Structure 1
Amino acid sequence: MNTLPCILTIAGSDSGGGAGIQADIKTIAMNGGYAMSVITALTAQNSMGITGIHAPDPEFVAWQLRAVLDDFPLAAAKTGMLFSGPIIAAVCDRLAAKTFPLVVDPVSVSQTGHQLLKDDAIAMLVERLVPLADVFTPNRPEAEVLTGLKIDTPADVRTATARLQAMGAKAVLLKGGHFDGDRMIDWLALPGAEPIALEQPRIDTVHTHGTGCTLSSAIATWLGRGYGVREAVVAAQKYLNLALRAGFGPGRGAGPANHSVVLLRLQERERIREDMGAAVRRLEHFDGMRRLLPEGVMHLVAALPWASGGEDVASLSGGVSCDAHGRPLVAGCPEFGASGDGAGTVLAASAVRAELRFAAVLPLTEAVTAALGRSGLGVAWFDRADAPEAERGNAESLAAWGVRQVLSSSPAPQGIGAVCDFGGNGSVGAVRILGAEADEVLDRLEAVADALD
């Protein structure tokens, strides 16, 4: 790839870095675009709130936009905080002849409650900007203000999105963050179609500053990369959900989503491959393996930070076994896309204790059971018979249920180094050795091997 699609953000500046232009630029870069900006307002803000707003003359906003349009081949653009009616008019005058998709985020109030859109600007937004929107992304309060409706039910969503489309927006994404429920549903209304419920997990975090900016700029970037509206929205949702799982608080108040999460995970993928490669070399000289694993296969697995599925888990593709002479036999190489007991183990363990991202899963034998008790390792057990019926037929979901139950119910989960079960209904039990690093898992394996008779 020799070029990146040029993506423009027209929005206000956040001196705290979590929202506005700053969030947009980071998001565009992380999703594969080249970011450029038109700054419509300067805010003096941090994680505790906004203490001041300074808006440039509308004419200067127009100068910025003209400079960009005169030179760069824009693939897409988004608008955020536009602050005043005259600024909205200046922007719309320049965008009226646009040939690229435009995402409009009708930013009106900050997360800390500060008004970001003057009262006289709402009519201008409806009259001039909404008709230019290829995708319009209000949250629930914004949609209620613009439509005059109270939005509580799916029927209300249909009515509200239809009213917004009647104002001129081609597609409407009614964001679900202000609705209640364990799942987060964004409603996407495409031209001539019923709203589609796009569901995703709700992330339990206070670090949500700038989420609307992040989502809209991600949508614009994926549109600029050639995706259709639905595909662009889903890709943007996935990015935001991951960034929220990795959110953090750099100040004393609510922090932002972690815009750098994609880069951080790419770096971590390489580290996991290196760590598992070193673990393979260590396993090849592990004399105790023949006693730990007289038959069967052991699986060594590792999860990325903020993992949510098997695509985030690496394992040795062929597992570890012993040859006819009892020597360790390591087959395959570290590959992401793991499934089964190992994937379920690290996904559940890291969800309860973020540092537990490595595990070794091996068959339970009578000798290993006795050695676990002598090893000094904290061992917890669960009974497969206690698992919900829906979890019992799948090794990954059963392991995840058991590990999650044990760690979340323990008064001292930090003392647990292994989670085991005795099997049942003809299936062999399993030992799941947990650790923050591959070396820690292997140290614990060696401790169990040393405790064998």
Structure 2
Amino acid sequence: MKVALSVAGSDSGAAAGVQADLKTFSALGVYGCIAITAITAQNTRKVSGVFEVPVDAIKAQVRAVMSDSPPDAIKVGMVYSIEIIEAVTGMLAGAKVPIVLDPILAAGTGYGLMQKNALEHFIKKVLPICTLVTPNRMEAEKLSGVKIRDDGDVIRAAKRIRSLGAQNVIVKGGHAGKNVVTDILLEKSDKLIRMSNPRINIKETHGSGCNFSAAATAYLARGFDVAEACDRANEYVHNAIKGAVTFGRGLPVTNPLSSIYRDAQRYATLVELQQAVDRLEALQGFGRLIPETATNFAYAVLDAEGPTDVAAVRGRIVKAGDASVPVSRVEFGASRHMASAVVAFMKVKPATRSVINIRYESKLVEVCRSLFSVSSYDRSKEPIGTRRKEDSSVSWGTSVALAKNPAADVIYHKGAIGKEPMITVFGKNPGDVLLKIEKILKAYR
């Protein structure tokens, strides 16, 4: 397994510093080691203190890692003082692996994370040992002395930083205030590469700079060249910002594990639903419950917001004698109607994430009443505005039925002009829904 070393400060809020680096390294399949240079007392609102780690302790940490598990790439983050700069550069100057520098001068909240008298020493000592430097625009101005107003200034600043000893420089555009965020990479060959993403509608996040530099370090450790490492780090951080979380009273925090959590949850949702669909296909007698417009079986991820967060059977489930056959595979976005129903249900009962529809019959409603809590809605009372809005009828009806009976796990309506009457059966997961269907079949003679 590839190893990356982060030589950086500690963030008690765990949004930046070595804590963010370790999350990012792990998310990208690299084993992370650390050498802490300073301890910060901070949260999402402010930094309330910086405590330098003794130089001997910093050297001992680096030496311990280097002697046992030599890293494949190294990230340098917060180096607070001249003494720490001297210690770090003395230990790393002879390294034969890529070194990524995140030039941390201040926290996102504005607190200085480098002593003012250390900046000149930092530029002179740290930049020359680096394979890649990753400043944001404000940091690039400080390092280069170039006032940045446009992309031309960005390029001039990058060239100035490179002339100070860095091999490659990427100036991140997150603070530029445009609809599109563009990072500009100046390679040692003089080649310029622009990497753009649409700006996410979120105020500044805490930790994105650390996540980017750590991601670039991880990709370099895995053998990618600088341009590819930066491109992948750009995409990774864009997704981490989209998945940002708010847990304090200050800045939202970039979530470097959001894509792993999302992908794992979506995979588990697909597998669990497919297994339930297979069991449903083997369930003799279910064909008797399928309506004329066919059946669908849906399962939403946690915090689902719309159809793309809800898996269902593409093409629905059709009748085959007394049994049933899925027309196609399970996938996300396959049923807007079932998605509307389950997302509306989750707004009232978040743990209930699965639903199936069966045909309406007064006898079936009575069977359901004998087994479960039941509610209903009248489609003839649907507001005109709701009818005209695509996919909003089912959502409206589900909300109305739950307002009448918040304990309901079965909801029905008697149809309307051009609309088949229907029963929907909800459950915490597909297995729970299947158990309810089996009980309905057993009681329905």
Aligned-partner Cα distance in 2 for 1:200–1:291: 47
What is the match of residue 127 of structure 2? 130
Say which SS state the counterpart of residue 72 (structure 2) adopts: strand
Aligned-partner Cα distance in 1 for 2:425–2:167: 51
Query: Partner letter of residue 35 of structure 1?
Result: G
Alignment of 1:263-342 (within 5 A): 263-265=260-262, 267-268=264-265, 269-278=267-276, 281-282=279-280, 294=292, 300=298, 302=300, 314-316=311-313, 319-323=316-320, 325=321, 327-331=323-327, 334=330, 338=332
Q: Match for 1:253 among 235, 239, 250? A: 250
CA RMSD of aligned residues (A): 4.9
Query: Partner letter of residue 123 of structure 1?
Result: E
What is the match of residue 185 of structure 1? 182
Note the alpha carbon deviations across 1:140-164, whole angstroms, 9 max, x for none.
1111122222323222222222222
Q: CA offset at residue 17 of structure 1?
A: 1.7
Alignment of 1:49-448 (within 5 A): 49-191=46-188, 192-204=190-202, 208-265=205-262, 267-268=264-265, 269-278=267-276, 281-282=279-280, 294=292, 300=298, 302=300, 314-316=311-313, 319-323=316-320, 325=321, 327-331=323-327, 334=330, 338=332, 376=377
Go from structure 1 to structure 2 and tell me whether the alpha carbon gap of 1:328 and 1:171 turns closer, same or farther (over 3 Å shift). same
Structure 2: tracts of 5 or more residues without a match: 358-374, 404-410, 413-421, 438-445
Aligned-partner Cα distance in 1 for 2:280–2:196: 46
Query: Partner letter of residue 164 of structure 2?
Result: M
- Number of corresponding residues: 407
CA contact (8 A) 2:269 2:299 kept: no
Note the alpha carbon deviations across 1:202-240, whole angstroms, 9 max, x for none.
15256x222211221121112111222233223333333
Go from structure 1 to structure 2 and tell me whether the alpha carbon gap of 1:307 and 1:213 turns closer, same or farther (over 3 Å shift). farther
Say which SS state the counterpart of residue 51 (structure 1) adopts: strand
Aligned-partner Cα distance in 2 for 1:144–1:289: 69
Q: Normalised by the size of structure 1, how large is the TM-score?
A: 0.71
Say which SS state the counterpart of residue 180 (structure 1) adopts: coil
Aligned-partner Cα distance in 2 for 1:308–1:9: 39
Say which SS state the counterpart of residue 126 (structure 2) adopts: helix
Q: CA offset at residue 330 of structure 1?
A: 2.0
CA contact (8 A) 1:300 1:342 kept: no
Say which SS state the counterpart of residue 67 (structure 1) adopts: helix
Query: Partner letter of residue 102 of structure 2?
Result: D
Query: Partner letter of residue 14 of structure 1?
Result: D
Q: CA offset at residue 171 of structure 1?
A: 2.2
| Structure having the higher Rg | 2
Residue 35 in 1 paired to residue 32 in 2?
yes
Note the alpha carbon deviations across 1:112-131, whole angstroms, 9 max, x for none.
21100111221122212112
Aligned-partner Cα distance in 2 for 1:380–1:37: 60
Go from structure 1 to structure 2 and tell me whether the alpha carbon gap of 1:299 and 1:128 turns closer, same or farther (over 3 Å shift). same
Say which SS state the counterpart of residue 116 (structure 2) adopts: coil
CA contact (8 A) 1:356 1:435 kept: no
Go from structure 1 to structure 2 and tell me whether the alpha carbon gap of 1:230 and 1:357 turns closer, same or farther (over 3 Å shift). farther
CA contact (8 A) 2:280 2:286 kept: no
CA contact (8 A) 1:358 1:441 kept: no
CA contact (8 A) 1:301 1:316 kept: no
Note the alpha carbon deviations across 1:164-216, whole angstroms, 9 max, x for none.
2222222222112212133333222333212313325515256x222211221
Aligned-partner Cα distance in 2 for 1:151–1:105: 19
Structure 1: tracts of 5 or more residues without a match: 363-373, 387-401, 419-430, 447-453
Go from structure 1 to structure 2 and tell me whether the alpha carbon gap of 1:384 and 1:141 turns closer, same or farther (over 3 Å shift). farther
CA contact (8 A) 1:174 1:186 kept: yes
